[in-house]
Every structure is written in structure tokens, then in C-alpha cells.
């Protein structure tokens, strides 16, 4: 029997991504408080892609997106998405999306859509890691540790989210140690949904913002949970190679080739359980260690 609480969590996310159409090329999305200080970047990515998909020809599917985060989003307010139909060519369509709050752009994205056609095909093999069913679920923090944290951080760490994550090499974010700049994390939506390809693409965009830039912090033994660490996504790129389902296990293999100038770069490859490369990602983020503050 399906868990009603789990179904509700997933239904809330799906509703968040469907958007309200207020004009031909204008959409409104609500914001969801998941315990972050500002609107979660994956929410804006998923909603912007959803808006773009609703204006693209039905036979064309997203193959890439490139986005910049301009301002922090206010979690208390809805977001308006203004879609520009930049081009509809013979086999490609391009859409430009601007996310707006309080009359100012907080995010811009260009997305390209392509009709399916045959062609040469290859991919890099996935890393050899344990299967998700052979990995333990992420343990809950003990009550004493939680009590020492700010209320908003407690909500972030304890709130049941719509995605389940099983890291191959778990890390204690409250007491991080230095390790090489790569990680692999299995993830999936916690409940089954239908076959809507556009919805699964928007869900993958949403989930792709988890764990990615955090990979750049691994060699430095710092964590976004520390009060002296300031982190924010600056941009996000994603390429959709093959059709994938967000409600089935996917492996997110991430690495960080560089960090410098208070910025870190991370790259990701998303594979299904059959080893097919579903999508690739890249992101640069702010990683600023503030002076004069103690860590957790």
C-alpha cells in the first residue's frame, strides 16, 4: 500500500512544477520552504524549464539549458516566469526564461529543444559503485545534536523531502573531513508518477542542484552548515542525453576540477541503473569562508 504522507510530499512538488499560466508566455510559480534561507535553486531551475516546455512544440524535447542565478529568491513570494520564444527552426527551438520577483530578475535561462532523430551514439561508462539497494538509508540526526542547531537548519535536516538520497561515501556535514573532490549519490523520487516526459525532465533539473557544488568543498573540510561558510549557486548548465525517469534510481557522479577566488566548479553525470548516461551537469558556485566566525 502506498504511503499517503509520501504521496502528499510528491504531489506538492508536482504542483510546484506545473505552474499557473497567467498569459500566453507568462507563468507564476509558488515557492516552497525546504529549510533553506532563500528559494532553493533547483526549484527555480525546474519551474523555469516547466515554463519553457509549455511554450515549445510538443514533438521537441529539451536537450540543454544554461542558467544564471542573479539574486536570491524570497521564499515567501511567488515567482513570475516570462518566456521569450526566441526561435523555432526546422528541428530546434530555443526559449529564454526570466524569473522575476518584486519587479526584478532573479534568474535567467536559455533552453534548447530538439526533435528526436537518429545519429552516432556513444557514452562514457559509469563508475563502479554499490547498487542503491546495497547502501543504507541516510541516518537521522540525534535529538541532542539537532537541539544545538538553528531552527531553520533543523527543518532542512529533518524535513522529509520528495527525493531519497543514498550517498556511496556518506559525509558528516556537521563535522566534515577533507577528502578527494568527487562523490557518487543515488537518488530517486520517493513515489511513482506517470510517464510525462516533460515532468520527468523538470524533476531531474530540480534534483540536479542537490550535491553538485558541495563536491567542491570536499577537499577543504568545510560545509554549507557552518556559520562561517557562505555558499550560493552562480550558474547551472544541464544536457539531457537520453530519456530518464526521476522516480527510478539514478546515480549522480560528481567531481570538482577546480576551486579558486571564492568560486568552485563542479560537474556531474547522471546514470540510470542500466548504466545509460541520462544527463550531464556543470555548475559554478560561490564558496566564501568568512573571517571572524567559528565553525560548527
Q: Which residue in 47, 209, 223, 255 is the catalytic one?
A: 209
Q: Quick one: CA torsion of 213, 35, 4, 273, rounded to 10 degrees? A: 10
Contact 273, 223 (CB under 8 A): no
Which H/E stretch holds residue 205?
Answer: helix 197-207
Q: How confident is the model at residue 144 (pLDDT cuts 50, 70, 90)?
A: low
**Span 122-139, mean pLDDT?**
93
Cα–Cα nearest to 48, from 233, 278, 205: 205
What global pTM score does this model have?
0.93
Q: Which residue in 233, 256, 269, 280 is the catalytic one?
A: 233
Q: What is the pLDDT of residue 296?
A: 40
Contact 45, 279 (CB under 8 A): no
Structural domain contains residue 295: no
Structural domain contains residue 162: yes
Structural domain contains residue 24: yes
Structural domain contains residue 296: no
178 exposure class (CB count in 10 Å sphere: 0-12, 13-18, 19+)? exposed
Q: What is the pLDDT of residue 128?
A: 97
Does residue 183 carry a catalytic annotation? no
Position 157 pLDDT exceeds 80? no
Range from 62-71, 127-136, 151-160, 248-257 carrying the lowest mean pLDDT: 151-160
Q: Which residue in 223, 256, 280, 283 is the catalytic one?
A: 283
How many structural domains are present in the chain? 1
Structural domain contains residue 126: no
Q: What is the pLDDT of residues 7-37, one digit of tens each?
A: 889 999 999 999 999 999 999 999 988 878 8
Structural domain contains residue 131: no
**What grid cell was written down for 19?**
505552474
Does residue 283 carry a catalytic annotation? yes
Q: What stretches of the chain adopt beta strand conformation (E)?
A: 20-23, 26-29, 60-69, 79-88, 92-101, 104-115, 163-167, 182-189, 229-233, 235-240, 250-260, 263-272, 277-289
Q: What is the pLDDT of residues 230-253, one digit of tens each?
A: 999 999 999 999 999 999 999 999
Structural domain contains residue 294: no
Q: Find how far residue 281's CA is from the centre of its chain.
A: 10
The angle subtended at Cα 128 by Cα 122 and Cα 130, nearest 5°, is: 135
CATH of the domain at 234: 2.40.160.210
Contact 85, 110 (CB under 8 A): no
φ and ψ of 4, to 5 deg: -60, -35
Contact 72, 106 (CB under 8 A): yes
Does residue 230 carry a catalytic annotation? no
Range from 46-50, 158-162, 191-195, 203-207 carrying the lowest mean pLDDT: 158-162
Structural domain contains residue 129: no
Where in the sequence is the domain holding 60, given as residue range(s)? 4-116+138-289
SS3 content of the chain, % helix, strand, coil (to 5): 20, 35, 40
Q: How confident is the model at residue 295 (pLDDT cuts 50, 70, 90)?
A: very low
Amino acid at each position: 500500500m502506498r504511503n499517503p504522507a509520501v504521496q502528499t510530499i510528491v504531489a506538492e512538488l508536482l504542483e510546484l512544477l506545473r505552474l499557473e499560466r497567467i498569459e500566453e508566455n507568462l507563468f507564476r510559480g509558488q515557492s516552497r520552504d525546504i529549510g533553506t534561507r532563500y528559494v532553493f535553486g533547483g526549484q527555480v531551475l525546474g519551474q523555469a524549464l516547466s515554463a519553457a516546455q509549455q511554450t515549445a512544440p510538443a514533438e521537441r524535447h529539451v536537450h540543454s539549458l544554461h542558467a544564471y542565478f542573479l539574486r536570491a529568491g524570497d521564499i515567501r513570494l511567488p515567482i513570475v516566469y516570462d518566456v521569450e520564444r526566441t526561435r523555432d527552426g526546422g528541428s530546434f527551438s530555443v526559449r529564454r526564461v526570466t524569473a522575476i520577483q518584486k519587479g526584478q530578475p532573479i534568474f535567467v535561462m536559455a533552453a534548447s529543444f530538439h526533435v528526436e532523430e537518429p545519429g552516432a551514439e556513444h557514452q562514457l561508462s559509469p563508475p563502479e559503485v554499490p547498487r542503491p539497494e546495497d547502501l543504507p538509508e541516510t541516518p537521522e540526526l540525534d535529538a541532542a545534536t539537532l537541539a544545538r542547531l538553528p531552527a531553520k537548519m533543523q527543518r532542512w535536516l529533518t524535513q522529509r523531502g520528495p527525493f531519497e538520497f543514498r550517498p556511496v561515501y556518506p559525509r558528516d556535514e556537521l563535522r566534515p573531513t577533507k577528502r578527494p573532490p568527487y562523490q557518487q549519490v543515488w537518488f530517486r523520487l520517493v513515489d511513482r508518477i506517470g510517464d510525462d516526459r516533460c515532468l520527468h525532465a523538470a524533476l531531474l533539473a530540480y534534483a540536479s542542484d542537490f550535491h553538485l557544488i558541495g563536491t567542491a568543498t570536499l577537499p577543504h573540510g568545510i560545509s554549507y552548515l557552518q556559520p562561517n561558510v557562505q555558499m550560493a549557486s552562480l550558474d547551472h548548465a544541464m544536457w539531457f542525453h537520453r530519456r530518464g525517469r526521476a522516480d527510478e534510481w539514478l546515480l549522480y557522479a560528481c567531481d570538482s576540477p577546480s576551486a579558486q577566488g571564492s568560486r568552485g566548479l563542479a560537474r556531474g553525470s547522471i546514470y540510470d541503473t542500466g548504466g545509460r548516461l541520462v544527463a550531464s551537469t556543470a555548475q559554478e558556485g560561490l564558496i566564501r569562508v568568512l573571517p571572524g566566525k567559528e565553525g560548527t
